[in-house]
């Protein structure tokens, strides 16, 4: 049974500064069209690189600690209980950093739409995929991660 206060952690990442553990509560509860993930970030860590979703909207809910929200407009510290809507497109760009001395826990609720395109402004990458975030990658999935400064090709290039 999924429980936000007694989570069953089912994923960890430790590639500093991107270190966290996650309980995929939406999946654990049987959800398909709506996702929910509980993240715990140790001091000095970050969630994911600054990114932009072009298909999925997210809602961040701070359950414990004081994380820093980074957007294209700058940084601001969030308080326990605060909610932040991360809209699709550049207005919703976000990254969470834990600059405090205590762990941070936040609940991320999201739509689960596919295909999805994510932009990474700091590194100039674009990720396109045909399956919803938080779901296992199907064998026949399209999964393309490229730098946006690569030479464009003509629509009919390589076609006969």
**Which DSSP category does 30 fall into?**
T
d(CA 55, CA 151): 25
At 86 the pLDDT is 98
Encode pLDDT of 44-75 as tens digits.
999 999 999 999 999 999 999 999 999 999 99
pTM above 0.85, yes or no: yes
By C-alpha distance, which of 110, 70, 76 is closest to 94? Answer: 70
Asked if 8 and 25 count as a contact pair (C-beta separation under 8 A), the reply is: no
At 89 the pLDDT is 98
pLDDT at 144 over 80: yes
State the CB neighbour count (10 A cutoff) for residue 87: 13
Question: Where residue 133 falls among pLDDT bands split at 50, 70, 90?
Answer: confident
End-to-end CA distance of the chain: 54
Encode pLDDT of 76-124 as tens digits.
999 999 999 999 999 999 999 999 999 999 999 999 999 999 999 999 9
Asked if 2 and 28 count as a contact pair (C-beta separation under 8 A), the reply is: yes
With 0-12 CB in 10 A as exposed, 13-18 as middle and 19+ as buried, what is 6? Answer: exposed
């Amino acid at each position: 049974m999924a429980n936000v206060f007694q989570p069953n952690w089912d994923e960890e990442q430790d590639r500093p500064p991107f270190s966290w553990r996650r309980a995929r509560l939406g999946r654990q509860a049987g959800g398909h069209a709506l996702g929910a993930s509980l993240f715990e970030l140790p001091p000095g860590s970050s969630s994911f690189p600054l990114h932009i979703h072009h298909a999925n909207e997210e809602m961040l809910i701070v359950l414990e600690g004081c994380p820093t929200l980074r957007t294209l407009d700058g940084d601001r510290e969030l308080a326990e209980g605060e909610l932040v809507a991360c809209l699709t497109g550049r207005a919703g760009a976000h990254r969470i950093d834990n600059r405090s001395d205590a762990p941070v826990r936040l609940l991320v609720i999201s739509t689960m739409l596919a295909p999805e395109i994510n932009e990474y402004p700091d590194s100039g990458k674009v990720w396109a995929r045909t399956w919803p975030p938080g779901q296992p990658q199907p064998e026949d999935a399209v999964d393309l991660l490229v730098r946006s400064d690569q030479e464009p090709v003509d629509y009919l290039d390589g076609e006969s």
